[in-house]
Amino acid sequence: MKSSRHRIIQLATVAIVGLYFALTIWQNQRQAESSWDQFAAIPIVSGGRIQPVDSYARNQLMSLSGKSSIKLKETGEKLGPRAWFAEVLFLPELASTRPCFRVENEEVKALFGEQASAEKNFSYQQIQPGMEKIAQLAERAEAKEKPQLTVFDQQISQLHKKLKTFRELSQCLPAHIAAGEVLTEQELITIVTANQGLKLLLVPPADEKQPLTKWQNLGTYLAKNPAVAWPAGNDGQTNWFTLAHAYQAANGQPDENFQQCCASYLEQVRTSTPDGLHKADHEFTFYQLAPFQRSLPLYLLAGLIILASWSFSSQRTASWLTVAMTLLTTLWVIHTCGLAMRVYLSGRPPVTNLYSSAVFIGWAAISFALLIESKLLKNGIGGFIASVIGTATLIIAYQLSFDGDTMEVKQAVLDSNFWLATHVIIITLGYSANYLLGLLAITHTLRSWLSGSFTNKQVKQSYQLIYGVTCFALLFSFIGTILGGIWADQSWGRFWGWDPKENGALMIVLWNTIMLHARLSGLCRVRGFIAMGIFSMVITSWSWFGTNLLGIGLHSYGFREGAMQKLAIVCAALTLIAIASLAKKHRTKES
């Protein structure tokens, strides 16, 4: 009877999760930009890979504005990434009036006459009066050494890069070509040279079934066809201009004619293709599903259910724990499938940049926590830790997604699938184990403070578990660091160079070693070892994240404004908890 009830609860929980995903996807399609689906699925090339318009538009808008949509002051409506990107391509003058640039610094606002404005989002036209001054200051900032850069310098440089990106995108389809003019060869060469955005747009070959290597971007195609008129509805080679005419004729709306033009182009793409472009279709589906973003609130919900269950009677606690653990297991499966899909789409191992490291570290730590819960604890603590880790790492990943394409390998030095699959995976497993270690230590401390039922036997079990995870963390951190040195020797001709990232990895290894030696030698007992376990999260956070944000060294990447301050706050809070765990006596009772 109990087993049957348990199974019913599990099936019902899985069904509810499936219904939640189905409803949110349906609602998103209904509310968002379903009339743009054909346009959103069109493949373009960026960052060395082919991706759908949907991914590229979202990444660019989030990079410029910090949001996935723009609120229009006139109507109060929101302009989504697909509609915004269509305006940038086909109606650049209208796009220049949209407030897609986020500027918070008052000194920067003053450059274009907005120093007294409470607004934070500005259009290209609003910023235009200060363009020349911004370019001058950005050039001056770029000439400085990174340690000398002020916050103002950094924000000016970032705004200048965003403005440049917008200009390039808005010049993808030169207006006089789209209008059907015939150009001389020299005029066309000048346009192609000036417009980097032309490289985004793919032109299928005239003959079907051509391999991807035979495809061209629009810039290359125009350069090879210098005296061609572009009337609307011309042959398949001119699809982008046909789309522009259809969109302009509909006054910037995705009417039936525009959608038909998009569908026609997609059909040509899919029949011509080739190996390689099908990934763009799958990426479009992946972002429609949004497995990580949709899992985030459910991870939080699972933790709240576990917290609530501990206040119930034993029978109700068991039922609610079953709900929470089934929910977490289902989310782990979704998380795993999401990671596998990213590996397939990028053609890379799961960790290539800060975003992917956050997703993978979360997945690995959740895996360890659920394993510990199912094999050892069986009281919800492992599940609660999995919930905290899932929520925290997916929030971090969401914030990092504002940097742009999350599947792009940002550093040329990372261009090695072998080392990405060995050194990077193993070192991030070490990070995951250290975060699990720290959260187990915090949980141990809170139980000893708040629960009078924390028996000596339970204290010993918890202590032994934290010790075991420390050994595991040391093993993976040490092996990962050694493999990193071998990679460095192959890439740069030296095993060790005291780079900040290398020092951070060494700090983790040394700290885990100090913990084990202090325990073995008797320098610390339970409380001391627990406090050191909490502080391991500080060391790991600095190695994983902080060293990337310094602006120096070979591993300096992934900078975001304000990230260092947030990291400092988190590390300070963890340090205070570690100190408090030493200061306050633990409450236990005899078993």
Q: What SS3 class is residue 557?
A: coil
Tell me the average confidence (pLDDT) per consecutive run of 10 residues in the chain, 591 residues long. 81 94 78 74 80 89 87 83 91 91 87 74 91 91 79 87 89 61 57 61 62 65 57 50 83 88 83 68 87 95 91 76 95 97 90 90 96 91 96 92 75 66 93 97 88 75 94 96 90 84 93 96 92 96 84 58 80 94 66 41
Give me the residue label for tokens 């998009």: 262
For CA atoms 75, 81, 87, 88, the dihedral sign is: positive
Q: What are phi and psi of 477, to 5 degrees?
A: -65, -40
For 283-304, how does the pLDDT look when each residue is reduced to its tens digit (9 = 90+)?
A: 888 988 899 999 999 999 999 9
Mean pLDDT of the chain: 83
Chain centre distance of CA 231:
41
Q: What are phi and psi of 17, to 5 degrees?
A: -60, -45
Q: What are phi and psi of 71, to 5 degrees?
A: -85, 125
Do 339 and 349 contact (CB within 8 A), yes or no?
Answer: no
- Please tell me the distance from the alpha carbon of residue 411 to that of residue 554, in angstroms, as a whole number: 9
Query: What stretch of H or E contains 37?
Result: helix 37-40
Do 328 and 295 contact (CB within 8 A), yes or no?
Answer: no
In the prediction, which pLDDT does 235 show? 45
Give me the residue label for tokens 């590229």: 56
DSSP states of 574-588? HHHHHHHHHHSPPP-
Give me the residue label for tokens 């004729």: 249
Chain centre distance of CA 271:
33
Of the candidates 335, 286, 310, which has an alpha carbon nearest to the alpha carbon of residue 17?
Answer: 335
In the prediction, which pLDDT does 12 show? 94
User: What is the DSSP-derived secondary structure letter of residue 298?
Assistant: H
Do 163 and 101 contact (CB within 8 A), yes or no?
Answer: yes
> Which distant-in-sequence residues (6+ apart) come within 8 Å of 350 by Cβ?
339, 342, 343, 356, 359, 360, 425
- Please tell me the distance from the alpha carbon of residue 313 to that of residue 382, in angstroms, as a whole number: 20
Task: State the amino acid at position 427 in one-letter form.
Answer: I
Do 484 and 423 contact (CB within 8 A), yes or no?
Answer: yes
- Please tell me the distance from the alpha carbon of residue 23 to that of residue 4, in angstroms, as a whole number: 28
Do 543 and 508 contact (CB within 8 A), yes or no?
Answer: yes
Question: Which of left, alpha, beta for 462 (phi over 0: left; psi -120 to 50: alpha)?
Answer: alpha
Residue 523 CB burial class (10 angstroms; 0-12, 13-18, ≥19): exposed
- Please tell me the distance from the alpha carbon of residue 270 to that of residue 209, in angstroms, as a whole number: 9
Do 306 and 384 contact (CB within 8 A), yes or no?
Answer: yes
For 203-248, how does the pLDDT look when each residue is reduced to its tens digit (9 = 90+)?
A: 666 555 555 556 667 767 666 665 554 443 344 445 777 888 888 8
Percentages (nearest 5) of helix, strand, coil residues in the chain: 70, 5, 25
- pTM of the predicted protein model: 0.86
- Please tell me the distance from the alpha carbon of residue 261 to that of residue 39, in angstroms, as a whole number: 9
User: Crossing angle of helices 291-309/314-346, nearest 10°?
Assistant: 160
